[in-house]
Amino acid sequence: MINDEYFLAALRLAAGNDPIPSHVSAAARDVYGLRVPQARTADHVECAAMGMSSASSCTRDDDGSHVMRFVTTGLTFDVEVSVDDGLIDVAGQVAPYPGEGALVDVKTPHLTLTTRITHNGQFAATGLPPGWVSVVCHRPGHKPVQTGWVRVRP
């Protein structure tokens, strides 16, 4: 004879309706909180498309900095990430110049640094904790544009 509890568990598994473990639900809520409502996502461009020969991380010079490019219709982010004393420094340029009043958020899961974009499209944020980083451009009169999340390790 089959125990009712085991029978119901077998039915849930067969139907794909097993309850989601609480740690998975918590992680999903955390990730959902990182989104920028209505933002468009700029896609990562491989190094070869940038004219660089390095295969995966576009390492430049001997300082260990990494250059990445993210592109969406009408906007390009060139982002340089470096690690100094265990903290992350992010510098970059948004092209074309997104206009007067444009801001950039350099985001981590636990911290967001907001900076103005200079007239030549440049921005910088320093002293971020290692881990996941994303850049968001806020332009007056337009939806925000966000890069994908990249993991930076010291």
The yes/no answer on whether domain 36-152 falls in CATH 2.60.260.20 is: no
CATH 2.60.40.10-classified regions of the chain: 36-152
Q: Is the pLDDT of residue 62 over 90?
A: no
Alpha-carbon gap, residue 102 to 18, rounded angstroms: 46
Read off the pTM: 0.75
**How long a stretch of residues is the chain?**
154
Residue appearing with tokens 């968001």: 136
Confidence of residue 54 (pLDDT cuts 50, 70, 90): very low
136 within 8 A of 124, measured Cβ to Cβ: no
pLDDT in tens, 111-129: 999 999 999 999 999 999 9
pLDDT for the residue numbered 53: 47
pLDDT for the residue numbered 65: 81
What is the four-CA torsion angle of 17, 21, 26, 30, rounded to 10 degrees? Answer: -60
Beta 145-147 vs 40-45: how paired, if at all? parallel
User: Rounded mean pLDDT of the chain?
Assistant: 85
pLDDT in tens, 10-32: 777 777 766 778 887 788 777 77
